[in-house]
Amino acid sequence: MSDTLRILGIDPGLNHTGFGVIDASANSFKLVTAGCIHVPRGELCDRLGHIYRELSAVIEETHPDCAAAEIIFLNINPRTTLLLGQARGAAITCAATHGLPVHEFTPSEIKLSVVGTGAAAKAQIQHMMKRLLNLAEVPQSDAADALACAITCANAMKLKSLNESALPASRTGVRSLASRSHRRGAWEQFAKHRTQQS
């Protein structure tokens, strides 16, 4: 990871889409901006367009290097999942249209990265965002989730860099891939270390 990386975190939702932009360096995170796009009622196409336009304004104002978004799993209500997926699609399309690579993380990966447990509650995420970013107040829930996604992206990039530097080279000179269990163990150790540092 470069000295400073600006990351846009996105917490997509058809009613409320959270966003959070951070500057991530080797040892710290700094808040650039965060907030929530409140989507007005109306036709679906108009609501998706609103998410796209508002997020586009955030990107144009902050100039992030990449974006990160939460992966959506099937909800109990398939229609709700479909609508949420379309809101997520509008947000990711917006980021991609602005030339941003988009990294994706599961909810449990995000919680593990910023809190230290994959079963963390929303309030825990909010308080960790206040702590990790040295904020005066606890951020709004959607904004906090977006910031957590951005911090997870920064942690993942740092972890990837650490893993690549630690992997032995194969006989062909190409680094061998770590096993899935090794990667998971390294992720948990890194998340635990981040929590202890804070």
* Res 126 pLDDT > 70: yes
- The pLDDT confidence band at residue 118, using thresholds 50, 70 and 90, is confident
Question: Which residue among 11, 23, 109, 145 is the active-site one?
Answer: 11
Rounded mean pLDDT, 61-88: 89
Question: Is 23 designated active site?
Answer: no
Of the pLDDT bands very low, low, confident and very high (cuts 50, 70, 90), residue 165 is low
Active site residue 46: no
Residue-range domain boundaries for the chain: 5-156
Considering the candidates 23, 54, 109, 142, report the single residue annotated as catalytic. 142
Which pLDDT does position 188 carry in this prediction? 52
Whether residue 150 contacts residue 102, with contact meaning beta carbons closer than 8 Å, is answered with no
> What's the CA gap between 34 and 140, in Å, rounded?
9
pTM of the model: 0.80
pLDDT tens digits along 36-63: 999 999 999 999 999 999 999 999 999 9
What per-residue confidence (pLDDT) applies to 96?
A: 97
Report the top-level CATH class of 5-156. alpha beta
Which residues, including other chains, have CB under 8 Å from residue 47's CB and lie 6 or more apart? 14, 39, 40, 41, 87
The tokens for 94 are 């917006």
DSSP 21-43: EEEE-SS-EEEEEEEEEEPPSS-
Q: Is the pLDDT score of 89 beyond 70?
A: yes
- Per-residue pLDDT for 103 more than 90? yes
| Region 10-32 average pLDDT | 94
Label residue 136 by pLDDT band (50, 70, 90): very high
Residue 24 identity = A
Higher pLDDT, 139 or 189: 139
Burial class for 41, CB neighbours closer than 10 Å (0-12, 13-18, 19+)? exposed
188 catalytically annotated: no
Q: Considering 23, 54, 70, 109, which one is annotated as catalytic?
A: 70
Q: Please, are residues 35 and 19 in contact by the beta-carbon 8 Å criterion?
A: yes
Query: Can you spell out the DSSP letters for 118-168?
Result: TT--HHHHHHHHHHHTT-SSPPPHHHHHHHHHHHHHHHHHHHHHHHHHHSP
